[in-house]
Amino acid sequence: SALIWTIIIPQSLEMGAAHIATALIVTIQWPLMVVCGSAMKFRPIILAYLTGGLVSVTGASVALVMSNSVPLALLCFAGGQMVTVCILLERAMSIFPFPVSSPAYRRQRQSTNTGSLALLGVAATIGAAGLWVDRWVIWSSNVGTKTIEGLHNAALYDTPLFWAQLMLIPGLAAFLVHLETGFVRDLRRFVASILSHATLAEIDQQAENLAERVHRRLGIIFRAEMMMCLAVAICAPLFAQYLGMTYRQISIYQIALAGVACHFVFIACAGIVLMVDRRLEFAILQVTFLAINAVSAGVVVLSGERFLGVNYLAATAISALIAWWVMQRVLNDVTYHTFMDAVFRPSE
């Protein structure tokens, strides 16, 4: 965050500090949400985001009305997000109410492979950069402009892409509630069959059931996501003006909606790969998406602004196909990787 807001996007001291504080607070929310989600604490997650969002919007609005200060408004927004962090942290701590100071815990912590954890952190950072790299490329072109506060933007591209990517929320929510929780349950059943010394045929059958359920659930969610994006794209001319979009932006919005359906597939497949503990493959997928998204945006910049939106669709479609192929290979080889990990990574 400090690198982005001080070097890549130079800001005043107040704006830079406000942006860094907001980025750090929002970043903390994700691991806490994953912990709560893994324990199926969905109600506290919803409560945390609703409460934090209400405080953020109210605080930022009051700050703008009272002082007309953008840094102060951003800090008030960050304060509301801190409320979300506090609620999620309280729920996460309630899941583990005992002190983590036992000898077994210390031995596990000492034997943990910090290199693999570092790889996972780098992969997550690259994945976050991949979501923004197309905007950075387009902001640096003749399409991009700069606000009075010094923020780069390209309204012709940013606005329709922002509204389109909001359609990821229903699919990701369904992925978290239905596919991820079911997958974890099936994965535990698969591991339990190994620990109970089942025959190789029985273990392979559990692995096949695991892959079959993933395909079925992912297919159902993808079809629902695709139908929602299609319906919104068809009706886009009816409500585009209420979202602040011009006639030129409607076509970009419709193309981006098609990209959103592909983007969901990429995120879901990469998530499944990570849940099977294939960290290297997950990192490669993030690097691939970053590279394809940057290259496609560069090609569109060279080709002309009439192709805006095609870059996002092409990047997500290609990345989704690669992620699907990687997920297929991982699920097909899950038995082999499980036994090999037990040999070469017994402490993890």
In this model, does residue 78 exceed pLDDT 60? yes
- How much is the pLDDT for 10? 57
DSSP 198: -
- How much is the pLDDT for 116? 61
Instruction: Residue count of the chain, please give it.
Output: 348
Give the mean model confidence (pLDDT) for residues 248-262.
91
The residues near 345 (Cβ < 8 Å, ≥ 6 apart) are 113
Cα separations (Å) of 200 from 30, 186, 193, 194? 38, 17, 10, 9
Q: Determine which of 78-87, 108-117, 301-310 has the lowest per-residue pLDDT on average.
A: 108-117
Give the mean model confidence (pLDDT) for residues 8-18.
66
Residues 28-49: tens digit of each pLDDT? 777 777 677 766 677 788 888 8
Residues 138-161: tens digit of each pLDDT? 888 888 787 665 667 888 888 899
- How much is the pLDDT for 339? 72
| pTM assigned to the model | 0.75
- How much is the pLDDT for 214? 86
Residues 182-232: tens digit of each pLDDT? 777 777 788 788 778 878 888 778 888 888 888 888 889 899 999 999 999
- How much is the pLDDT for 81? 86
Question: Which helix (H) or strand (E) is 214 found in, with range?
Answer: helix 200-239
Report the alpha-carbon distance of residue 200 to residue 348 in Å, rounded: 23
